[in-house]
Structure 1
Amino acid sequence: MEEERDFVPDYEPEYDQLLSPPSRVPGSATSKRGKPCPICMAKFTHVKRHVIKDHLPWYTYPSTCCPTCRINFGQKHFLDVHVENQHNNNSPSQQFAHFWMDFMYYLFLQIIHILKLETFENLFKFINSNEQFSCCKGSVFQEDDLVLGEKFLKDKFPGVTVSKIPFPVVNASSLLHWKILSKLIDISNCTDLLFKVYKKYVVWILGSSIVHWAAQRAIDIGIENLEFERTKLSIFWHGIRGMKWESLLDTVSFCESKFPLPDFIIIHLGSNDIKLGCSRKLLSHMQKDLAEIRQKFPNCKLIFSELLTRLIWRGLNWEEGERERSTINKGMYDFIGNENNIRHAKIEPRKRYLFRRDGIHLSDLGNDFLLEDFKIKIQQSII
């Protein structure tokens, strides 16, 4: 395969034809220098770049994709520029690399199922004997692709060695080659299905020390992802001890620069703001900020986790604190709706064993109940 030269356009326009050119794929080349795309057959100077950008799901090529924005640039230079401009040089690809191998393994399993081939070995035979893959003859892996192939084999097929020649197919590393992969997805007609079946949900859980200690408890008992498969869903915790509501929008902006874009945001915040007689004003502020977050992430589901009861409300007697808390919870319930609200019915003040000695933070068992409530709401939301 020809080495690509950086910063050269994907196509070479033709200017010397006397007749109007026939209809073609936008951006394709019509000169003799162009090479045909194995999927759409339009000619491109850089076929690989075109295929990665236009014919492969964004998550199949981690070297040039931005998992936060869920787009593929087809060339690392353009990804670097994007990360510098949009993510302050904090590359989200580093986090995504951890999940990429699971993505690809289950993608291949789905293709095997669709084509009714049952095993990887049968898939290899299918590719090698199918005339549609003849365009893959003479292809080679570039160095970056070899590195990805080695990581994939080491994780999913230990003991198997990657080959520099992807065709004919001898092991699963060949399936990662852009030509073979694009043809497989095209033949199996599974792009839309894969997007639905293998969509990876991203959940942010944000808040004060309640979230901080819940995340710590989840880590301690080995359920940081709340027992969801990491190939299907990833949870990003961000709890700040002592956090007040006024810090929420800045916290959301920080998370946007660090985490993949969310499908769900769970917010547990506001208890530290409660003062006698301030609940109405606080409620208005909370609703205004949630509306702003909704506008910022229109495709994200925003979930409010109700403020927990406490044994002690600092600066207030218990009845006053509970009254203010109830006012806020009811107002948020009316504003955000039942399906976007998490109630914590099992956490009651009479069950003193659910709280630490300070009467504010939860014990291990209390945190277990809280984590279960988060898990149930997420399950209900992704069905």
Structure 2
Amino acid sequence: MPKSKTRISKTKSAPVPDGGRARSARKKRSSRRFAELTQTSGPPTSSQTVTQDNIQGPQAMETTPEVQTTSFAASQQTMLPPQSYVTSQASTANSHFRDQSAPQQVLPPGTHPVTPSTAEAELVGQASDKVSIWIVGSSIVKRAGIAARTRQGGKNLNLPNASVWWQGYGGMKLHDLIPKLKSLQKYEDKPNIIIIHCGANNIGHIPIKRLLHLLRNTLEEVVNMFPQTKIIWSCTLPRHSWRFSNKVRAMEKARCRLDRAAIAYITSQRGSFIKHSQFNTKPTQLFEADGVHLSPLGNDIFLNNIQRVIQELSC
């Protein structure tokens, strides 16, 4: 009998689909990656990327927030400046703001800033150096004071160390002098110099003897009121016409007697006097149309005479 040939069929395993191999490879890579991660100490750095592909299970959910928290804290520490730096910057900004809002005083070299006490002392010293002068009288003084304000040097007659107070009253007579001085004392300290130009309006109003007696009593009271003040008599001015009489020559003689009596008493009390000799001949250009008050040129001459005497006494 013929030998039967036994066929041994080689059993072949079913082919593995390609998809299965890919999954198996991914599992192996994932296992190796997980092993590497578990061997490293500490949390992964910001350069390590943690995803669901390389970490499976609950560890992915726990690790991912920790990495995010760590990176956010590191960014905060990097962005925020130190506290000392913030404080120094704030103080610098505040000082800059103060410098801009309050301008600094620029002083010349070698000088010192003036404090309030120093400024007050300087003002007191300047005030004490001034020569206080009262000029009291009739409308002649009133108009002269107005004219002085329009001149160079102003009311102080261009005298840097003088402080002149003009007190002129229209129609003023001798018996008005003492009440006026008492009133002025309420507002100012006693002056260094008093210039009196008064008395012409009394001439012809009362007899000459009574007038001379009134003059003496008035001047004595002035000296007693101001014992430390230098009294200056400003001589009365001639007139083209007089209010109380038409006898111009008689009125001029009475005026001269009045001035001589005043000068005699004032000089005996260490006072002084001012003579306005430019008016003796009564030039018409020095008087107004009424023949009594002074023209602008006459006021300038009158003021120059007063200024010259004050300068002589102040030197």
Structure 2 residue aligned with 1:327? 257
In structure 2, the partner of 1:359 is 291
Higher helix share: 2
8 Å contact 1:205–1:267 — kept in the other structure?
Answer: yes
The alpha carbon displacement at 1:177 in A equals 4.2
Measured against aligned partners, the alpha-carbon deviations of 1:5-25 in whole angstroms (never above 9, x if no partner) come to: xxxxxxxxxxxxxxxxxxxxx
Q: Distance in 2 between matches of 1:160 and 1:347?
A: 59
Partner of 1:175: 114
Q: Deviations over 1:62-100 (max 9, x none)?
A: xxxxxxxxxxxxxxxxxxxxxxxxxxxxxxxxxxxxxxx
Contact 2:141 2:167 in 1 (8 A): yes
Q: How does the TM-score come out when normalised to structure 1?
A: 0.49
Corresponding residue of 1:8:
none
> What SS does structure 2 have at the residue aligned with 1:369?
helix
After superposition, the C-alpha distances for 1:3-56 in whole angstroms (9 at most, x for unaligned) are xxxxxxxxxxxxxxxxxxxxxxxxxxxxxxxxxxxxxxxxxxxxxxxxxxxxxx
**TM superposition shift of 1:289:** 1.6
Q: 1:353 to 1:172 in 2, by over 3 A?
A: same
Superposed, 1:257-276 pairs within 5 Å as 257-275=186-204
What residue number does 1:345 align with? Answer: 277
- 2:175–2:218 contact (8 Å) kept in structure 1: no
* 3-state SS of 1:204 partner: strand
Report what 2:69 is aligned to. none
Residue 347 (structure 1) shift: 1.3
Cα distance in 2, alignment partners of residues 350 and 181 from structure 1: 50
Alignment-mate amino acid for residue 165 of structure 2: F
For 1:283, the equivalent position in structure 2 comes to 212
Alignment: residue pair count: 209
Kindly indicate whether the alpha-carbon contact (under 8 Å) linking 1:162 and 1:173 is maintained by their aligned counterparts in 2. no
TM-score by length of 2: 0.59
* CA contact 2:286–2:295 (8 Å) conserved in 1: yes
**Residues 180, 334 of structure 1: alpha-carbon distance in 2 compared, 3 angstrom cutoff:** closer
313, 323, 339: which one aligns with 2:242: 313
Cross-structure match for 1:224: 155
Give distance in 1, aligned partners of 2:110 and 2:213: 60
DSSP-derived class of the 1:217 partner: helix
Deviation at 1:252, TM superposition (A): 0.3
What is the SS of the residue equivalent to 1:237? strand
Q: Is the 8 A contact 1:200 1:234 kept in 2?
A: yes
Contact 1:280 1:328 in 2 (8 A): no
Deviation digits for residues 218-257 of structure 1 (CA, Å, limit 9, x no counterpart)? 112242111111xx21000000011111111111012112
**In structure 1, the residue corresponding to 2:142 is in which secondary structure?**
helix
Cα 1:362/1:170, change in 2 over 3 Å: same
Is the 1:162–1:171 Cα contact (8 Å) retained in structure 2? Answer: no
**Residue aligning to 1:79:** none
Cα distance, 1:275 vs. partner? 1.0
User: What SS does the aligned partner of 2:156 have?
Assistant: coil
Unaligned 5+ residue runs, structure 2? 1-101
Q: How far apart in 2 are the matches of 1:242 and 1:179? A: 47
Instruction: Out of 212-221 and 173-182, give the one that drifted further.
Output: 173-182
Q: Is the 8 A contact 1:174 1:180 kept in 2?
A: no
CA distance in 1, matches of 2:134, 2:181: 9
Structure with max Cα Rg: 2
Residue 113 of structure 2 aligns to which amino acid in structure 1? S
Aligned counterpart for 1:292 among listed residues 211, 221, 245: 221
Helix, strand or coil for the counterpart of 1:238?
strand
Say whether the 8 Å CA contact 2:193–2:230 is kept in structure 1: yes
* Higher RCO, Cα 8 Å, sep 6+: 2
- How many angstroms apart in 2 are the aligned matches of 1:291 and 1:257? 21
Q: Name structure 1 gaps, 5 residues minimum.
A: 1-158, 164-168, 186-190
Shift of 1:288: 1.4
Report deviation, 1:178.
3.3
Q: Secondary structure at the match of 1:325?
A: helix
1:251-297 deviation digits (Å, cap 9, x = unpaired): 10121122342000000001111117722221221221222121111
